[in-house]
């Protein structure tokens, strides 16, 4: 280091569109996360435990067509959900907490980037990583089952593949807002990570206790909400007398207010109002 002898040089390149700059944030998150050995290790372990065995078993088992019930059973497995929430806790924990801690949120928002686009960039980055676990392996499974089916009805199987795509995407859409909310509430990523996991875990415990009084309380558990929405997405009948209106309310409560809270926190921390 030392006093440089180079003078200041202007730059006169062409600028990119304002509306596309949130992609830079998403791109950076994906690169950063995929260079983390811990996360890669977790993805490999989760894929092996949750996805590989069903892919092998379901492909080898004789079947005529890809059935919705097979995919629902697979996606409703407890292990799938547990790895989902561990992954969300790890991926989302630092996304906003680190920017608040380091105050770099001020640098983001001093750029030609609106707070909502900053949020979309963070959300998209998290979604891309979570989908590697919730969307890609279920799609591979559904395609593998379709490829090994003995019956001729590929149209029905293709419809289930489409439903699987929606269900995989929905899993990430449903879980990421809570992860981002926890990340925006603290400037310590450890607290955010543990907070996210405990949020899902504690609500499930509370739901199981309160369900003794009324079956409606089962919908307090994000796991139950997610499982019931799988039934809806795959066109199956909801079992256990689930109240559809209550299910809709819980879906709303667990997605929209958390994202609104993240936006509010970004405005508070970044803009100061």
Partner 1 sequence: MKQGGATVSDSDPSGVSEAENTIIATDITVQYDSVVALDHFSINIPKGIVGLLGPNGAGKSTFIKTVLGLVLPQYGKIMIDGLDPRTDVMSIRDRVGYMPEHDCLIDSMSGVEMVAFFGRLSGMRKQDTIPRSHEVLDFVGLGEERYRPISTYSTGMKQRAKLAQAIVHDPEILFLDEPTNGMDPLGREEMLNLIGKIGASNKSILVSSHILQDMEQICQHVIIINKGKAIIQGTMAALLDQGEGRKRLKIRGTPDSILKFMEHLRHKHEVISTSEEYGEMTIVIINREGSGGILKLARDDGVQVRAYLPDRITLEDAFIRSVKEVI
Q: How far is the CB of 133 from partner 1 (least distance, A)?
A: 23
Q: What is the C-alpha to C-alpha distance for residues 35 and 29, in angstroms, rounded to an integer?
A: 10
User: 74 vs 118, which CB is nearer to partner 1?
Assistant: 118
Q: How far is the CB of 146 from partner 1 (least distance, A)?
A: 38
User: 222 vs 270, which CB is nearer to partner 1?
Assistant: 270
User: 12 vs 237, which CB is nearer to partner 1?
Assistant: 12
The residues binding partner 1 (CB under 8 A) are 1-4, 6-16, 18, 21, 24-25, 28, 32, 98-99, 102-104, 106-114, 270-273
Q: How far is the CB of 254 from partner 1 (least distance, A)?
A: 30
Q: How far is the CB of 272 from partner 1 (least distance, A)?
A: 7
Q: What is the C-alpha to C-alpha distance for residues 189 and 101, in angstroms, rounded to an integer?
A: 9
The torsion angle over the Cα atoms of residues 159, 161, 165 and 170, rounded to 10 degrees, is 70
Q: What is the DSSP letter of 240?
A: S
User: 99 vs 223, which CB is nearer to partner 1?
Assistant: 99
- Going from the C-alpha of 251 to that of each of 10, 106, 170, 228, the distances in angstroms are 51, 32, 11, 10
User: 5 vs 245, which CB is nearer to partner 1?
Assistant: 5
Q: ∠193-186-172 over CA atoms, to 5°?
A: 45
Q: What is the C-alpha to C-alpha distance for residues 19 and 21, in angstroms, rounded to an integer?
A: 6
Q: What is the C-alpha to C-alpha distance for residues 40 and 44, in angstroms, rounded to an integer?
A: 6
**Counting Cβ atoms within 10 Å, is residue 71 exposed (0-12), middle (13-18) or buried (19+)?**
buried
* Length of the chain, in residues: 273
Q: How far is the CB of 103 from partner 1 (least distance, A)?
A: 4
Q: Are 186 and 98 in contact (CB under 8 A)?
A: no
Q: How far is the CB of 150 from partner 1 (least distance, A)?
A: 49
User: 62 vs 273, which CB is nearer to partner 1?
Assistant: 273
């Amino acid at each position: 280091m030392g006093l440089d002898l180079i003078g200041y040089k202007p730059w006169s390149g062409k600028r990119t569109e304002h509306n596309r700059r949130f992609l830079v944030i998403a791109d950076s998150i994906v690169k950063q996360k995929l260079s983390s050995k811990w996360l890669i290790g977790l993805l490999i372990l989760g894929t092996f435990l949750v996805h590989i065995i069903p892919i092998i078993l379901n492909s080898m088992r004789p079947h005529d067509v890809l059935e919705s019930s097979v995919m629902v059973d697979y996606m409703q497995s407890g292990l799938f959900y547990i790895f989902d929430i561990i992954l969300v806790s790890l991926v989302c924990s630092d996304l906003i907490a680190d920017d608040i801690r380091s105050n770099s949120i001020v640098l983001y928002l001093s750029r030609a980037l609106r707070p909502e686009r900053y949020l979309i960039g963070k959300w998209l980055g998290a979604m891309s990583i979570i989908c590697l676990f919730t969307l890609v392996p279920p799609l591979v499974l559904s395609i593998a089952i379709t490829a090994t089916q003995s019956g001729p009805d590929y149209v029905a199987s293709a419809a289930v593949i489409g439903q699987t795509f929606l269900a995989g995407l929905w899993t990430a859409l449903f879980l990421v807002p809570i992860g981002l909310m926890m990340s925006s509430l603290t400037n310590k990523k450890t607290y955010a990570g543990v907070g996210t996991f405990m949020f899902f875990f504690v609500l499930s415990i509370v739901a199981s206790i309160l369900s003794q009084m009324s079956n409606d309380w089962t919908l307090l558990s994000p796991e139950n909400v997610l499982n019931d929405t799988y039934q809806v997405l795959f066109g199956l009948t909801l079992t256990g007398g689930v109240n559809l209106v209550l299910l809709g309310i819980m879906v709303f409560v667990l997605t929209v207010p958390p994202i609104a809270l993240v936006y509010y926190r970004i405005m508070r921390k970044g803009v100061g109002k």
